[in-house]
Each structure stands twice: as C-alpha cells, then as structure tokens.
Chain A
Amino acid sequence: MKKTITALLLILAVISFTTFTATAQDQDEASSRISISATAQVVESIEMETVRDMSFSPVQPSQQLISINPLSDTNTGKMIALGNADSQIRVSFVRERTLRHANGSNTLTFTYEIAGNDEDDQSSAEILQTDNRDLTLNGNGEYYFWIGGQVNVENAKPGNYNGDFTIEVEYI
C-alpha cells in the first residue's frame, strides 16, 4: 500500500511540476520582439560633361541642307554622362530646336539626331529616340553622346544663328 501511495504521490508531483512549467512558458510568450529594417540607396548626381561643341563648316550660298551624321561625322558635339557605375538611366531630349539670327528675327529649325554608347566609340553607337529608358552607365559610370542633326538653310538670310540643345539624363 505504501508503494501504491508513493507512486500516486509521485504522479501528482509530476503533474504539478508539469503545470508549473506550462504556466512559465505562457508567461514567456506574453512578450514579443521583432525587427524591421530601414534602407536607402544613395547615388551620386549625374553630371554632364561637354567634351566638344557641334561645329559647322561655313555654309555656301548654294547649300540647301546642313547635315551632321551622329554616327560618323567628326563635327558632332560630344558629351559624357557621369554617375554611378552600372546604373540604369533615362535620357530624353527635344528633337527640334529653334536657332535665332544674331541680328534679327529670322529663325531656323534644327532637327537633332543623337547617338549614344556606353563605350567611347562613335561608330558602334545607337541612334537614340527622344525618350530612352533602357540605357545603362558603364562600369566607370560613363555614357557617351554624339550630337548631330540637320537644318535647312535654303531660305536663310546670311548671318549667325544661335541656339541651344538640352538633354536630360536621370536615374531610373
């Protein structure tokens, strides 16, 4: 009988211990801790460097069209975009710009053609549309532009004509 009582008391002791353990675990679960991360990707500003301006040979009276081929002409303007290596960029520009006579109200319309390349190689560059989103700076963070185009001078009055060209480059 003593053995039986001892055994039952032992069982009760085990049950009591189990009860205490379960309660302690519940108390541990009554708190919780988590972490979330905060992140920001900082990139360098894109800078545009003008290597050279577009140049025109003197226009002859008989000439009707001045054309500078952006893929092959040495008179093209040249610019380099400088930024974060291997970053995707968006390039956009206005294709037609007005050139104004230096001493009058006469104007000419210049139609730009741009070629771009992530290598410093004009001949393998690609002609860019007015809005390009799939371009990437090279491993040194560079992208090259050659600026050419066409202007009709058939009815132009003699004199100097001036205008500007705007190209916008931004990270995607």
Chain B
Amino acid sequence: MKRILLSLAFLLLPFGATHAQMLALNVEAPPGITVTVLSDGILDFGTLLQNQGQVSINLMDPGTEVISIEADKNRDLSVTLTPPPSLQLDANNTLPFTLGASYNNTGDNDKSQAVEFPDSYQKVFPSYDDQNASGPPPWACNDKKNNPNNNCDDTNNKNTVLSYIYVYGDITVGNARAGTYTGMINLNVNYAN
C-alpha cells in the first residue's frame, strides 16, 4: 500500500510542476500598456487679454504636451482623445477650445514625423510602423546578437515599443471675464487586436 502511495505521488508531482510552467507562461503574455506624460501635463495658453481672439499652441511649439505609450510592438493601438468643448471659468464664462493632436509610431519622439489625428480624435495604428524610420527599430536595442555594437538602453522590456502622442490646440478669447479657465483632455489607449 505504501508503495502505491509513493508511486502516485511521483506521478503527480511532475503534473504539478507543469502547472508551475503555465504560470511562467503568463509572464510572457502580451505586455500591458503604459502611458506616461513626458511634459508637465498642462496645456498652458498663458496669460491672455480679453478680446485677444484666437490663440494657438501648434504642433511644433514647445508648449505642446507629449505623451508616450509603451505597448506590445506587434499589436495595434486604439487611441481616443476626448477634449472639452471649451475651457471654463464657470458655467457662464467659457472659451471655445479646439483640440489638435498627432501621433508618431516610428519609435522616435519626433514631432516632424507626426501624423495628425482625424477630427474624431480616434485612431487605430500599429504600435510600431517602420516605413519611414531610419536606423534600427527600437527593439534592436535588445538584439545583441545582430546588433552587438548598438548604444541603445536595453533595459526596457524586449517586447515593447514607444509611440508618442502630441497634444496642442486653439482657444478663442472674446469678451470673456477675467480669471483662470480650465478643461480636461482625456486620453484612452487600448489594444485594437
């Protein structure tokens, strides 16, 4: 009887070990999405005069907000920006606001290669698109075998790549009451596939 018990135990132990390996497989599951605001998080139009008219922060301006998205390099991202219709002092005093947004999925934080979002502020794009990129792709940093002399920081997750979102826009200042006008721009990111 004791022999049978021991045999059963030995038979079952590797089965348990197999499950431990399944847990390890979950570590290799598609990585999550990490969104980071690289700038100060405030699209600041500064101090403006009453009736000043339209004031713009353009894509190439230093005041543009920059957001990075770290995600699985082999998947498409669905990015949705939700702007406020206006910046508000209170319910009766508002400044019309038009959001501008562009993305760069070449792996470089480079505004000059950014593509403008459509009017819906919703776009699905690959995490990494190397059509116009020069040099090694971002994950080449991790490929020491084929790129032994690269100078990349290879501490990041090997399966991820960075995309960049640039947020800017226009406001129109009419005969608005003096004060601080604010609004929130929401950014939603998930995998599209």
Q: Which residues of A contact B (CB under 8 A)?
A: 1, 4-5, 8, 11-12, 15-16, 18-19, 22-23, 26, 29-45, 84, 171
Contacts of B41-94 to chain A: CB distance below 8 A: 41-51, 55, 65, 67, 69, 83-84, 87, 89
Query: Which secondary structure dominates chain B's binding surface?
Result: strand
Q: Are A36 and B47 in contact (CB under 8 A)?
A: no
**Closest Cβ neighbor of B43 among chain A residues:** A38
Return chain A residues, CB-CB under 8 Å to B37. Answer: 34, 36
Q: Which residues of B contact A (CB under 8 A)?
A: 1, 4-5, 8-9, 12, 15-16, 19-20, 22-23, 26, 29-30, 32-35, 37, 41-51, 55, 65, 67, 69, 83-84, 87, 89, 95, 97, 167, 169, 171, 173, 176-191
> Bound complex: CA of A8 vs CA of B12, how far in Å?
8
Return chain B residues, CB-CB under 8 Å to A26. Answer: 26, 29-30, 32
Q: Are A39 and B20 in contact (CB under 8 A)?
A: no
Pick the contact of B190 from A11, A31, A40 — CB < 8 Å? A31
A1-B4, A8-B12, A31-B188 known; A39-B33 Cβ under 8 A: no
Return chain A residues, CB-CB under 8 Å to B8. Answer: 1, 4-5
Q: Are B42 and A39 in contact (CB under 8 A)?
A: yes
Return chain B residues, CB-CB under 8 Å to A37. Answer: 41-43, 182-185
Return chain A residues, CB-CB under 8 Å to B50. Answer: 42-45
> Bound complex: CA of A16 vs CA of B15, how far in Å?
12
B190 to chain A, nearest CB (A): 4
A26-B26, A40-B181, A43-B178 known; A171-B187 Cβ under 8 A: no
Return chain B residues, CB-CB under 8 Å to A34. Answer: 35, 37, 67, 186-187
- Count chain B CB atoms within 10 A of each CB in A15, A42, A43 and give the residue with the most: A42
> Bound complex: CA of A45 vs CA of B1, how far in Å?
97
Return chain A residues, CB-CB under 8 Å to B16. Answer: 8, 11-12, 15
